[in-house]
Amino acid sequence: MAASVRSGKAGLPPGTLMHIGEAKEHTPKISIIDYNPTHFQEKIAQRVEECFPFRRKKSITWINIDGVHDSNIIKDIGKHFGFHYLLLEDIMNNEQRPKIETFEDHIFIVLKMLNYEQKEVVTEQISIIIGKNFVISFQETEGDIFDPIRKRIRENKGKLRKRGPDYLAYSLIDAIVDHYFAVLEKLEEEIEEVEESITRPTAETIKNMHLLKRQTISLQRSIWPLREVVSGMIRSESALLKKTTAIYLRDVYDHTIQVMDTIETFRDILSGMMEVYLFSVSNKTNEIMKVLTIIGTIFIPLTFITGVYGMNFDFMPALTWEYGYYAVMMGMLSIIIFLLLYFRKRRWI
Amino acid sequence: MAASVRSGKAGLPPGTLMHIGEAKEHTPKISIIDYNPTHFQEKIAQRVEECFPFRRKKSITWINIDGVHDSNIIKDIGKHFGFHYLLLEDIMNNEQRPKIETFEDHIFIVLKMLNYEQKEVVTEQISIIIGKNFVISFQETEGDIFDPIRKRIRENKGKLRKRGPDYLAYSLIDAIVDHYFAVLEKLEEEIEEVEESITRPTAETIKNMHLLKRQTISLQRSIWPLREVVSGMIRSESALLKKTTAIYLRDVYDHTIQVMDTIETFRDILSGMMEVYLFSVSNKTNEIMKVLTIIGTIFIPLTFITGVYGMNFDFMPALTWEYGYYAVMMGMLSIIIFLLLYFRKRRWI
Amino acid sequence: MAASVRSGKAGLPPGTLMHIGEAKEHTPKISIIDYNPTHFQEKIAQRVEECFPFRRKKSITWINIDGVHDSNIIKDIGKHFGFHYLLLEDIMNNEQRPKIETFEDHIFIVLKMLNYEQKEVVTEQISIIIGKNFVISFQETEGDIFDPIRKRIRENKGKLRKRGPDYLAYSLIDAIVDHYFAVLEKLEEEIEEVEESITRPTAETIKNMHLLKRQTISLQRSIWPLREVVSGMIRSESALLKKTTAIYLRDVYDHTIQVMDTIETFRDILSGMMEVYLFSVSNKTNEIMKVLTIIGTIFIPLTFITGVYGMNFDFMPALTWEYGYYAVMMGMLSIIIFLLLYFRKRRWI
Amino acid sequence: MAASVRSGKAGLPPGTLMHIGEAKEHTPKISIIDYNPTHFQEKIAQRVEECFPFRRKKSITWINIDGVHDSNIIKDIGKHFGFHYLLLEDIMNNEQRPKIETFEDHIFIVLKMLNYEQKEVVTEQISIIIGKNFVISFQETEGDIFDPIRKRIRENKGKLRKRGPDYLAYSLIDAIVDHYFAVLEKLEEEIEEVEESITRPTAETIKNMHLLKRQTISLQRSIWPLREVVSGMIRSESALLKKTTAIYLRDVYDHTIQVMDTIETFRDILSGMMEVYLFSVSNKTNEIMKVLTIIGTIFIPLTFITGVYGMNFDFMPALTWEYGYYAVMMGMLSIIIFLLLYFRKRRWI
Amino acid sequence: MAASVRSGKAGLPPGTLMHIGEAKEHTPKISIIDYNPTHFQEKIAQRVEECFPFRRKKSITWINIDGVHDSNIIKDIGKHFGFHYLLLEDIMNNEQRPKIETFEDHIFIVLKMLNYEQKEVVTEQISIIIGKNFVISFQETEGDIFDPIRKRIRENKGKLRKRGPDYLAYSLIDAIVDHYFAVLEKLEEEIEEVEESITRPTAETIKNMHLLKRQTISLQRSIWPLREVVSGMIRSESALLKKTTAIYLRDVYDHTIQVMDTIETFRDILSGMMEVYLFSVSNKTNEIMKVLTIIGTIFIPLTFITGVYGMNFDFMPALTWEYGYYAVMMGMLSIIIFLLLYFRKRRWI
């Protein structure tokens, strides 16, 4: 949760770079891809300084940094590329909401990647900076989600090599949003599993239902601002986002809406399941009570009657009568028949 | 659900045409109607190339394609008529939300057709492209919903032949929206059926109620964006939509609102039914408990009394008394009368 | 419900006049009132053609048509006065939502009249067309709601004769909205009746509560768009609505808001009643259980004790003891006292 | 409720003055205060005509009328000061919502005064008309809420005498809004009282809770439009409201928001109380059931065992065994111990 | 609560300074820090007059006043610095909502500080006035939240000394908002604690859950307007807020949103906990009833049978039969087996 780690920063001057989020240990990996329609270069930088020369190159450079917990790297990049301190702070603060911020010569975008690991939706923050001839992307951990894009650049498939950094950024965002569908798919399986177990609910069932509900809510909360980010890019008047890219972004926007709709549907299904569950519990209680009441109503009075004739009074009329036993038994039988008819009339049996 | 099929596309370059939705096998059927006030021609194209010459003809051409799962046909049409790759992708993605997109020389509209099959509302996607002198419509399967429009063109009834492609598009949309009422009618019957069964509810009843509720919700979700599509057409400034058509579109808009209102009413009725059902279950539990409590409260103490006089102590005063039995019986009778009066006072009986 | 009749029209060309709504049989009645400050003429037209000359007269003409199921009359009027086909369609479609539509030389308004008949709120559609020197109003059935207005024109009371057709239209709308209060009054009585019966609820009570709730919801839905209609008239820039009439329309608007507020209050009261009802049912179940538990907890163990001493073992120590009976009785009495104290401590009795 | 009296007016021409609201009998009291920084005059008018000369005086006049049920007085004032008929109608209609209406040479404001009388929030309508050099205020009954303002004028305290009629009107509104806090305070006491009684709830408790909830709702409804009135005054472009008064009105606006917030908090507290109450009832039912079940589960089987050995068969093995009784007693004791352990395991005891 | 103290002011002229809120006794402490990039002076003022000379100094002065209950100090400052009476009133009214008000030569901001003391979220009002070369801040009590800022000025760390009063004000607001995270963190611990105790709920649990819910609601209410304050500062066109500070305020705005999101999440978690709790109570009741019903259904009929054979009739057939006892015992055993099978079929055991 945001609160726990965030509070440690209270009182520090703004711009003090400090990683906020789960602690990460691995060494950040910096990969550089430089390309134009005819040229292609790919390398893994050993030191952050290796990125700097690409700032001045005319070709398009994509610098991808896996790991944002090393403030030195972030600071060095910030200093060299001229990013505002608060922007760097946002990159390192993994509790950041998705947002878009437009600066004079670069656009800063924060997004959330989703992964479904061990019945939990895990979010990872991805920051993208679009410059005039570069895109810098920051991931918390190394992931393979951008691999198809790398391959498309490498093999010069599609339009990627022919277009600018805004199209590359679009491709990255598109890959992230497309990956949401995979997560939704897994969530859907989970929901269906719980749905099947609802007919024989255990204490687990309620907990699982609830866990799923909480996950859809937190999902909704992290995707909602994404919509604004994408529509912010579409409506942006920055020269860094070309008009020809807008139609692709509109496509991403449609997908985002589709994701929202699917999550909304999940919520409805889960709410419905809870309602049905509550209904069936109160229905079952009713059923159980009915059985007890039928049994009780029939046998408690009868037991009373046998009790009467079990009393040890010396002077009791019926006891010595030859047919007394049979008369009482018939009487009790009539009570049973009468009650069964009564219950049938009331539709209890 | 959208998620399951959609995720297979993650990472592919945009514009890779792939059918998203339930797999379809049949060969797409391409029917062409070409007309102007005085001229009429109708044919079934064997090959997609037969459509192309109509692009240049001055008369109005309506090309209807039943089946969107063959990416070659879609691609060929797209190439010849100059449609954007993403537009073609949308046609083939049957999970698309209703939307309108305005291009320079054509308008792209995505709609949902509804059908009620085997207690399920089935949606089918219909895409319509309005050009300067043509309308191209895409359906997932062959349907007879557009037959009356074909007949009107053929027989030159109404204003269809005298007006432009925008009026034809309006007629198609109008037919789709009008068909919604038929689906609502069937849903209404279903609701009334459940409503009747609610007085003697079974486990089925809750499930049915819930199924209907989920259907109204998903219906609402697919009709809601339709409203925006129609109002988008009304407010459109594209030259392809003439002002004289706007009044007809406003009529469609009114119908859309009416559909929304009816669905809203369905939801209210279903919510009400669920509430009434929950009320009556808890009411019934109450009734059942009352019966058990009355019986128990009367006979449990009485049974205790008979138990007392059934004990085998050698020295018990009352047992040998001649009227002991009668005295105890009278005592128990008074207890019964007292309790009955008490229950009456409490309005339990 | 709208759906059931509406669907019969699917596929027909727009402008095909067909009555939508409950079937009506009576012959439409056409009454004409023609007036100016000094002149007054009133007549019942036998044939629709009698209305036509008034179109050209300088004096103000109010044509009121009771019955909209005869498409010939509607069509004739439409043709002569130059109304759009879709407008005529709306007049005959009694499922139409309240709305205002501004044409070049007339304004078309659809409203809902309310009546409270046999515990049901019945809506009737009233269409009003305001022309340069005429007002045409359409009612489903003959009603006496406009009689006071006729009388005011006839007797030249108030400002009606001195003002234009917009003021006449305002008077009609005002009469309709004022009549809402009468319906609300009856609904209020109904609610109060149910409220009184809530202390001794029967199965009827829940149903009645629910019926009333559904009625308030449907009322709200038909009055909500009315607000927009009236505010549309106020903000209208059509020359047909003079600025001097706006202040009167603002008064009607205030009344509409008041009606909305009252209905909102009704909903709150009904929701509250349902809550109180649910509370009291669960409270009662609790009370009933308490009685059973107290009786059971006291007498079930005691009966067990009598059972013990009712066993027929040959060797049982206490039975032959002279004070055995009294000892057991005292023991049981102490148990009773102990339990009563325990229940008191737990505040059960 | 608004509906009951309001409907009597249906069909009357607009501007027919008729008092709507609870019938009032007392003779209206007209008090006049005339002042400027140096001059002060105060008098009780015997006849309404005594007010008229003040219209032309340069000094500021405050005419306060206690009682709005006498249509003659209202009509006379209206005629002399040139108020619209509908405005007069609004003054006499005590079901009017708070509103502001701007005329050319006066501003008309309707507000609600609140009083807390016998556990009921009572609303009283106050109408204020701001003219160029006068303020006319209408109250339903005589109240002492404006006395401090009279005193401030009389004793020339604060800025009242130095400022215009808009500042006087502000002072009146401020007094009304400040009085809301007194009502809220009493409501708060009431809520706290109910909150204390919730641990030992009676049938009364639910009713009281519900009554309070309904009161907060109706309070909210009458204060909500007040917000718009005050913000309407702030944003007003009428010359009658000077810019220097706007900052004071903003202060009133802040107080209105504070009132809204407090009522919102009340609603939350009441909803919470209801939830806690419902929780504790179902919790208690659970507790009660647990006691019955423990007792029943232990003693019903035991009673059965005693029943077995109480049967009168001639041939029963154990009965004649010397230690039979003790064996059975030990057996039953083990059952008790076993069940107690079982219940402990299930955390029932 | 606001209502209780506020009402005491009803009727007083505006601008009468009176402390509203909990009574405070301590003597207000006035600390002054005066600085520019090269100069630094810090002192504790003994008398309010010591602040006045700083108004004219070119360097930036931060006057912090701990304690707002002494109306003389507030009045003196107001008079010397030229603040409006209503502004001073707002400073002393601790029930004030967060707000921003722009005057010609100063900006007035009201904020809420949060503290978590003894399981309660305590709010404290902080007012900040930004002038051309000064910032005056008012706190209810002395707090150490601004100490890091004092230290930063003193030690000339960060940009504080280099920037204007707007940056100082931003730093104060940032410190306040950052402190919210600490409060949220404590609230989170509290929630987790209750969450753990939910499996073995006591009467306390419900109360705690409810208390936490009420706190999140009141938290939400006090933070909601803060959002508007910060965005008001960002959009402000006052020359007192420089454009270079806007980016820092945007950062604060982001944090505010994050706080809102976290609180929203808390509410969801609490609602979920309540639902789960309610579910498990009704589930438990169901379980308990099942046990009772199983025991009752088996043993009540059996006890009846033993009762039958315990009757003392002289003529009963089976009693004298040698195997009668065994036959009855076998019969009862079969009943038990039958019922156990029945319960298993119904999935009760």
CATH code assigned at E317: 1.20.58.340
Instruction: Let me know whether D132 and D233 are in one domain.
Output: yes
Chain A hits for B86, CB-CB cut-off 8 Å, are 247-248, 250-251
> Does pLDDT of B7 surpass 60?
no
Confidence of residue E305 (pLDDT cuts 50, 70, 90): very high
Strands (E), chain A: 29-35, 40-45, 60-66, 99-102, 107-117, 120-130, 134-139
- D45-66 pLDDT, tens per residue? 888 888 888 888 889 999 999 9
Residues C78-99 have a mean pLDDT of 89
> Does pLDDT of A14 surpass 60?
no
Note the pLDDT of residue A1.
39
- The minimal CB distance from E185 to the residues A4, A281, A325 is found for A4
Does D290 lie at the interface with C, CB-CB under 8 angstroms? Answer: no
Chain D hits for E218, CB-CB cut-off 8 Å, are 265
Amino acid identity of C333?
L
H/E run at residue A288 = helix A243-309
Closest by Cα among C283, C268, C262 to C201: C283
- The minimal CB distance from E304 to the residues A306, A318, A325 is found for A306
Does E265 lie at the interface with A, CB-CB under 8 angstroms? Answer: yes
* CATH assignment of the domain containing D91: 3.30.460.20
Smallest CA–CA distance from A298 into chain E, residue: E301
- The minimal CB distance from C296 to the residues D277, D292, D321 is found for D292
Instruction: Let me know whether E189 and E322 are in one domain.
Output: no
> Does pLDDT of A184 surpass 70?
yes
- E91-125 pLDDT, tens per residue? 988 888 899 999 989 999 999 998 888 888 888 99
Q: Are A22 and A95 in contact (CB under 8 A)?
A: no
Token pair in block for residue A293: 């009441």
Confidence of residue B1 (pLDDT cuts 50, 70, 90): very low
Note the pLDDT of residue C221.
83
Chain E hits for D313, CB-CB cut-off 8 Å, are 309, 318-319, 324-325, 328
Q: Are A308 and B330 in contact (CB under 8 A)?
A: no
Residues D140-145 have a mean pLDDT of 83
Does C315 lie at the interface with D, CB-CB under 8 angstroms? Answer: yes
Instruction: Let me know whether A159 and A290 are in one domain.
Output: no
Note the pLDDT of residue A11.
53
Helix (H, G, I), strand (E, B) or coil at D137: strand
Domain that includes residue A26, residue range: 2-279
Residue bearing tokens 């007879």: B144
Q: CA of E73, closest CA in chain A: separation in Å?
A: 29
Q: Are B172 and B245 in contact (CB under 8 A)?
A: no
C309 or C20: whose pLDDT is higher?
A: C309
- CB neighbour class for B29 (10 Å; exposed up to 12, middle 13-18, buried from 19): middle
> Does pLDDT of B308 surpass 60?
yes
Residues C309-321 have a mean pLDDT of 84
Helix (H, G, I), strand (E, B) or coil at C333: helix
Note the pLDDT of residue A222.
80
- The minimal CB distance from B278 to the residues A149, A279, A315 is found for A279
Smallest CA–CA distance from D159 into chain E, residue: E13
Across the interface, whether the CB atoms of D314 and E296 are under 8 A apart is answered no
Q: CA of D37, closest CA in chain C: separation in Å?
A: 37
- C101-141 pLDDT, tens per residue? 999 899 999 999 988 888 888 889 999 999 999 999 999 88
Note the pLDDT of residue C305.
92
Token pair in block for residue E238: 């006052």
Distance separating alpha carbons of residues A304 and E304, to the nearest angstrom: 8
Amino acid identity of C240?
L
H/E run at residue D117 = strand D107-117
Note the pLDDT of residue C143.
77
Does C198 lie at the interface with D, CB-CB under 8 angstroms? Answer: no
Note the pLDDT of residue D232.
92
Note the pLDDT of residue B5.
46
Instruction: Let me know whether A88 and A220 are in one domain.
Output: yes
- Best B312, B314, B328 member to test C by mutation, with max C CBs in 10 Å, is B312
Q: CA of D239, closest CA in chain E: separation in Å?
A: 22
Note the pLDDT of residue D4.
43
Cα four-point dihedral sign B281, B287, B288, B290:
positive
- Rounded to 5 degrees, φ, ψ at E329 are -60, -45
Note the pLDDT of residue A5.
47
- A280-328 pLDDT, tens per residue? 888 888 888 899 999 999 999 999 999 999 988 888 877 888 888 889 9
- E216-254 pLDDT, tens per residue? 888 888 888 999 999 999 998 888 999 889 889 999 999
Q: CA of D115, closest CA in chain C: separation in Å?
A: 20
Domain boundary among C263, C279, C295: C279
The CB-side HSE value for E298 (13 A sphere, CA atoms) comes to 24
Confidence of residue D23 (pLDDT cuts 50, 70, 90): low
Note the pLDDT of residue E256.
93
Helix, strand, coil % in chain E, rounded to nearest 5: 60, 15, 25
Note the pLDDT of residue C2.
40
Instruction: Let me know whether D177 and D273 are in one domain.
Output: yes
Instruction: Let me know whether A191 and A294 are in one domain.
Output: no
Residues E291-314 have a mean pLDDT of 91
- Going by DSSP bridges, is the β-strand pair C134-139/C60-66 parallel, antiparallel, or unpaired? parallel
- Rounded to 5 degrees, φ, ψ at B257 are -60, -40
Mean pLDDT, rounded, of chain B: 86
Q: CA of C154, closest CA in chain B: separation in Å?
A: 38
| Three-state helix/strand/coil letters over C162-179 | HCCHHHHHHHHHHHHHHH
Confidence of residue B11 (pLDDT cuts 50, 70, 90): low
Amino acid identity of E313?
F
String of DSSP letters for A257-270: HHHHHHHHHHHHHH
Instruction: Let me know whether B168 and B137 are in one domain.
Output: yes
Distance separating alpha carbons of residues B130 and B148, to the nearest angstrom: 20
Across the interface, whether the CB atoms of E306 and D310 are under 8 A apart is answered yes
Judged by CB atoms within 8 Å, which residues 320-349 of D form the interface with E?
Answer: 347-348
Across the interface, whether the CB atoms of D15 and C158 are under 8 A apart is answered yes
| Angle formed by the axes of helices B85-92 and B71-81, nearest 10° | 150
Tell me, what DSSP letter sits at residue D242?
Answer: -
Note the pLDDT of residue A33.
94
> Does pLDDT of C151 surpass 60?
yes
Distance separating alpha carbons of residues D287 and B339, to the nearest angstrom: 25
Q: CA of B72, closest CA in chain C: separation in Å?
A: 32
Q: Are E113 and E180 in contact (CB under 8 A)?
A: no
Instruction: Let me know whether C230 and C85 are in one domain.
Output: yes
Highest mean pLDDT among A7-21, A140-154, A160-174, B273-287: A160-174
Distance separating alpha carbons of residues D223 and C170, to the nearest angstrom: 30
Note the pLDDT of residue B12.
58
Q: Are E110 and E87 in contact (CB under 8 A)?
A: no
Helix (H, G, I), strand (E, B) or coil at D172: helix
Q: Long-range pairs for E196-201 at CB < 8 Å and ≥24 separation?
A: E198/E273, E198/E276, E198/E277, E200/D347, E201/E277, E201/E281
Chain C hits for D328, CB-CB cut-off 8 Å, are 311, 313
Smallest CA–CA distance from D303 into chain C, residue: C304
- The minimal CB distance from C221 to the residues B182, B261, B313 is found for B261
Judged by CB atoms within 8 Å, which residues 223-252 of E form the interface with A?
Answer: 247-248, 250-251
- Going by DSSP bridges, is the β-strand pair C134-139/C120-130 parallel, antiparallel, or unpaired? antiparallel
- A134-151 pLDDT, tens per residue? 999 999 888 788 999 999
End-to-end CA distance of chain B: 53
Instruction: Let me know whether A270 and A295 are in one domain.
Output: no
Instruction: Let me know whether D80 and D209 are in one domain.
Output: yes
Name, in order, each residue with C-beta under 8 angstroms of A42's C-beta and a sequence gap of 6 or more.
A31, A32, A33, A34, A150, A154
Does C204 lie at the interface with B, CB-CB under 8 angstroms? Answer: no
Note the pLDDT of residue D24.
66
Confidence of residue D274 (pLDDT cuts 50, 70, 90): confident
Helix (H, G, I), strand (E, B) or coil at A290: helix
Distance separating alpha carbons of residues C126 and C113, to the nearest angstrom: 7
- The minimal CB distance from D299 to the residues C152, C179, C304 is found for C304
> Does pLDDT of D13 surpass 80?
no
Tell me, what DSSP letter sits at residue B316?
Answer: -
Domain boundary among C279, C298, C327: C279
H/E run at residue D298 = helix D243-310
C-contacting chains (≥3 CB pairs under 8 Å): B, D
Does D318 lie at the interface with C, CB-CB under 8 angstroms? Answer: yes
Paired strand residues for A62 = A33, A135
Closest by Cα among D204, D186, D182 to D194: D204
Helices in C198-242 by DSSP H: which ranges?
203-235
Instruction: Let me know whether C273 and C300 are in one domain.
Output: no
> Does pLDDT of E211 surpass 60?
yes
> Does pLDDT of B15 surpass 70?
no
Chain C hits for B269, CB-CB cut-off 8 Å, are 214
> Does pLDDT of A209 surpass 90?
no
Distance separating alpha carbons of residues D136 and E236, to the nearest angstrom: 39
Confidence of residue B3 (pLDDT cuts 50, 70, 90): very low
Distance separating alpha carbons of residues A90 and B6, to the nearest angstrom: 32
Across the interface, whether the CB atoms of D158 and E15 are under 8 A apart is answered yes
Residues D220-246 have a mean pLDDT of 89
Q: CA of B115, closest CA in chain A: separation in Å?
A: 20
Confidence of residue B281 (pLDDT cuts 50, 70, 90): confident
Helices in D71-202 by DSSP H: which ranges?
71-81, 85-92, 147-154, 165-197
Note the pLDDT of residue C169.
95
Domain boundary among E279, E300, E315: E279
B292 or D17: whose pLDDT is higher?
A: B292
> Does pLDDT of B328 surpass 50?
yes
- CB neighbour class for E53 (10 Å; exposed up to 12, middle 13-18, buried from 19): exposed
Strand order in the sheet with C40-45: C40-45, C29-35, C60-66, C134-139, C120-130, C107-117, C99-102
Note the pLDDT of residue C165.
93
Q: Are D84 and C246 in contact (CB under 8 A)?
A: no
**What's the number of domains chain C is made of?**
2
Confidence of residue B10 (pLDDT cuts 50, 70, 90): low
Note the pLDDT of residue D2.
40
| Angle formed by the axes of helices D165-197 and D147-154, nearest 10° | 150
Closest by Cα among D226, D274, D205 to D113: D226
Confidence of residue A3 (pLDDT cuts 50, 70, 90): very low
Note the pLDDT of residue A4.
43
Name, in order, each residue with C-beta under 8 angstroms of B195's C-beta and a sequence gap of 6 or more.
B269, B273
Across the interface, whether the CB atoms of C258 and D2 are under 8 A apart is answered yes
Closest by Cα among E91, E102, E125, E41 to E241: E102
Distance separating alpha carbons of residues C107 and C97, to the nearest angstrom: 16
Chain E hits for D348, CB-CB cut-off 8 Å, are 288
Residues A334-343 have a mean pLDDT of 93
Residues C225-254 have a mean pLDDT of 90
Q: Are A133 and A56 in contact (CB under 8 A)?
A: no
> Does pLDDT of C288 surpass 60?
yes
Confidence of residue E3 (pLDDT cuts 50, 70, 90): very low
Residues A37-46 have a mean pLDDT of 90
- Going by DSSP bridges, is the β-strand pair B120-130/B134-139 parallel, antiparallel, or unpaired? antiparallel
Note the pLDDT of residue A9.
54
Confidence of residue C10 (pLDDT cuts 50, 70, 90): low
Across the interface, whether the CB atoms of C314 and D318 are under 8 A apart is answered no
Across the interface, whether the CB atoms of D328 and C313 are under 8 A apart is answered yes
> Does pLDDT of C73 surpass 60?
yes
The CB-side HSE value for C106 (13 A sphere, CA atoms) comes to 20
Does A4 lie at the interface with E, CB-CB under 8 angstroms? Answer: yes
Instruction: Let me know whether C265 and C290 are in one domain.
Output: no
Mean pLDDT, rounded, of chain C: 86
Confidence of residue C175 (pLDDT cuts 50, 70, 90): very high
Paired strand residues for B40 = B35
Report pTM. Answer: 0.81
Residues B113-138 have a mean pLDDT of 90
- C193-203 pLDDT, tens per residue? 888 877 666 76
> Does pLDDT of B123 surpass 50?
yes
Neighbouring C-beta atoms of residue D267, cutoff 10 Å: 16
Q: Are C292 and B292 in contact (CB under 8 A)?
A: yes
- B103-112 pLDDT, tens per residue? 989 999 999 9
Distance separating alpha carbons of residues A283 and A254, to the nearest angstrom: 43
Judged by CB atoms within 8 Å, which residues 141-180 of B form the interface with C?
Answer: 145, 147-149, 152, 157-160, 171, 174-175, 178-179
- D154-177 pLDDT, tens per residue? 998 888 898 999 999 999 999 999
Percent of chain E with pLDDT over 70: 92
Chain D hits for C269, CB-CB cut-off 8 Å, are 214
Note the pLDDT of residue E5.
46
Residue bearing tokens 């990159």: A91
> Does pLDDT of D129 surpass 90?
yes
Note the pLDDT of residue B9.
54
Across the interface, whether the CB atoms of C286 and D289 are under 8 A apart is answered no
Distance separating alpha carbons of residues D68 and D83, to the nearest angstrom: 15
H/E run at residue B176 = helix B165-197
Distance separating alpha carbons of residues C243 and D104, to the nearest angstrom: 14
String of DSSP letters for B181-223: HHHHHHHHHHHHHHHHHTTS--HHHHHHHHHHHHHHHHHHHHH
Paired strand residues for E122 = E115
